[in-house]
Every structure is written in structure tokens, then in C-alpha cells.
């Protein structure tokens, strides 16, 4: 059973940084699946913000994070990272990691594209 676990959330002041981690255990050939980060703010729909393809190249889905957030993966550790810099109060949300099925090499901003989801980690940015 594949388990996706996020970590690294917390409370940070505006302008600060956080580095979220996503580990997908028991996912074979981890580098053969796209991994994405979504977020859901209170009262809003879940939105896809970034994804990393099997090749390691990223897709950005939220213009609001361009230039501030980066995604990377360490296949040896089955881990994907979301580095968030210059955080703003509007970045406050629960952040979810999602993994596509093995063999799904490309990304999509649609939540239905991904099969395995973590429980989420809270990110709160104070002004």
C-alpha cells in the first residue's frame, strides 16, 4: 500500500521560508510517476500549484507562486520537496502532496490525475 506523507509545515512570518517534504513509501520506481503539490485555503477549492515530472522538470499551475516556490525530487530517497520563499499570508493553506500511478510520467493540474494523496500539512503565514 502506497503511503504519501507530507512534513515541514508550520507557522512562519510573511517573507519567511518553509521547505515541505513529501515521501511516497512503497511506490516502486518512484521516478516513473509525476508528483504534485496542491493546496486548499479555508473556504476555497483545492488548487494545483506545482508538479514535477518523471524527468525532473517542473510544471507550474499557480501564477501566484512563480518566482517564489520551487519543486525538486530526490529519487534515491523517494522524496519530493517544495521550497517556499517570500511567503505571503495568502499562502496560508493545507498543502497536499499527490502522486500519480506508476507510469504516469506527465503532470496535470487536475486532482483526479493523481492516485495517492497525503493527509496534508498546515502552512500558516502571519502578517
Beta strands in the chain (DSSP E): 3-7, 10-13, 18-25, 35-40, 47-52, 58-60, 69-74, 79-84, 93-99, 116-117, 121-126
56 compared with 41, residue with greater pLDDT: 41
Confidence of residue 89 (pLDDT cuts 50, 70, 90): very high
Q: What is the pLDDT of residues 103-120, one digit of tens each?
A: 888 899 999 999 999 999
Q: Which residues contact 120 (CB under 8 A, 6 or more apart)?
A: 6, 40, 94, 95, 96
Q: What is the mean pLDDT of residues 3-28?
A: 90
Task: Give the pLDDT band (50/70/90) at residue 2.
Answer: confident
- 106 secondary structure, DSSP code: S
Using alpha carbons, select from 71, 89, 88 the residue that is nearest to residue 80.
Answer: 71
Residue 26 has pLDDT above 80, yes or no: no
Cell numbers describing residue 73: 525530487
Distance of alpha carbon 20 from alpha carbon 127, whole angstroms? 20
Cα–Cα distances in angstroms (integers) from residue 97 to residues 13, 38, 72, 127, in the given order? 23, 6, 13, 25
* Structural contact between residues 25 and 5, judged by C-beta atoms closer than 8 angstroms: yes
Amino acid at each position: 500500500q502506497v503511503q504519501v506523507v507530507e512534513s515541514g509545515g508550520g507557522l512562519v512570518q510573511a517573507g519567511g521560508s518553509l521547505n515541505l517534504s513529501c515521501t511516497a513509501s512503497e511506490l516502486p520506481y518512484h521516478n516513473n510517476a509525476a508528483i504534485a503539490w496542491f493546496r486548499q485555503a479555508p473556504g476555497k477549492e483545492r488548487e494545483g500549484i506545482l508538479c514535477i515530472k518523471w524527468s525532473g522538470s517542473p510544471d507550474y499551475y499557480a501564477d501566484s507562486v512563480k518566482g517564489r516556490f520551487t519543486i525538486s525530487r530526490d529519487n534515491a530517497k523517494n522524496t519530493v520537496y517544495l521550497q517556499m520563499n517570500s511567503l505571503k499570508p495568502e499562502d496560508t493553506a493545507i498543502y497536499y502532496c499527490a502522486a500519480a500511478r506508476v507510469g504516469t510520467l506527465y503532470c496535470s493540474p487536475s486532482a483526479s490525475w493523481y492516485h495517492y494523496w497525503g493527509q496534508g500539512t498546515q502552512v500558516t503565514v502571519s502578517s
